Amino acid sequence: MKKCILIYNPQSGKARKKIEKDSLKEIAYDYGYKLSFMRTKRNGDASKIVKRLKLDNEDVVIAVGGDGTLHEVVEGNMLRKKRIIMSHLPQGTVNDVGRMYGLTKKVEKDLEMLLSGKVKNVDTCLINGNPFVYVACFGNLVNVSFDTPRDLKEKYGKFGYIVYGVKKVRRRVKMYDIKYTVDGEVFQDKFSFIFVTNTDRIAGVGNIFSDVKLNDNKFEVVLCKAGTLKECIRDMKNIILYDPTKLQNSIYFKASELEIEFLHRQRESWCLDGEELKSYRCRKFKFTIDQDSKMLLPTKNINKLFEEDDEE
């Protein structure tokens, strides 16, 4: 019988409630898996657990929690000599990735959808070798993603980010002078926000990009030039609610490789999947794609998210 390891973060959204282990074990058994559970206690635990697991080719590791928990599982898998099949049961505050996959936050239903789904090769984006699942962003107010206190997220859900952002909003917008290289071609300009994504959902809003594929060896990039607080708020709203490829103060493109060099030292951090990447002393950032990871996914959105020539 194949093994299925469920790694869960008891501090993420509904995962704080008791998981019905017996019910999940019965579902897994019906699909030919022996299910076991591993609980994280602090940030970084999921990555360490995955790195050390001894599993075979058909065994599966499922991240239960928010996008940050999935991020850690992917990170741990990237550190392994032999990659394993990953999957995700969304139980966090926003769950952009889980919703993109077609999952529901109903853990029993989602587990059935996964175990009856398909294994697909997925692109894993990297920034200076650090993996991220769906978004890396930099600029004004980006710190709201990782600085928002847990009690606000627990009380208000995704609106907790807005509550915290309003309190911390700056009157002056900082512009970053950068040189960037897209698939070998060099440009230079000033921007207030940088988004590098591999998703059709950000901040709980879907269908941001109409043609995202998770196996096309490309990521989507939006560079925003908004120079005032009013323009920043407007453009961030438009990126989420409308077509980010047609914003007047932004540049949009797809790429397989991207290098960004800050011409002046920056004090802010990048945000990877809602978590902070501390890199204050670094001015150069290289984005690449790893294509050697596999995810077990429900069939619901596979035709939309994957190119037809993907091998299972």
Average pLDDT over residues 123-127: 96
Say if residues 96 and 71 touch (Cβ distance below 8 Å).
no
Say if residues 219 and 148 touch (Cβ distance below 8 Å).
no
**CATH 2.60.200.40 applies to domain 130-290:** yes
Is the pLDDT at 164 greater than 50? The verdict is: no
Residue range(s) occupied by CATH 3.40.50.10330 in the chain: 2-116
Q: How many Å apart are CA 257 and CA 262, to the nearest integer?
A: 17
Average pLDDT over residues 298-311: 83
Residue range(s) occupied by CATH 2.60.200.40 in the chain: 130-290
Q: How many Å apart are CA 161 and CA 96, to the nearest integer?
A: 14
Q: How many Å apart are CA 134 and CA 252, to the nearest integer?
A: 17
Of 55, 61, 43, nearest in space to 81 by CA: 55
- 126 secondary structure, DSSP code: E
Say if residues 108 and 23 touch (Cβ distance below 8 Å).
yes
What CATH number has the domain spanning 2-116? 3.40.50.10330
Q: pLDDT tens, 24-48?
A: 999 999 999 999 999 998 888 999 9
pLDDT at 230: 75
Whole-model pTM: value is 0.84
- 173 secondary structure, DSSP code: P
Q: pLDDT tens, 227-259?
A: 877 777 777 677 666 666 677 778 989 999 999
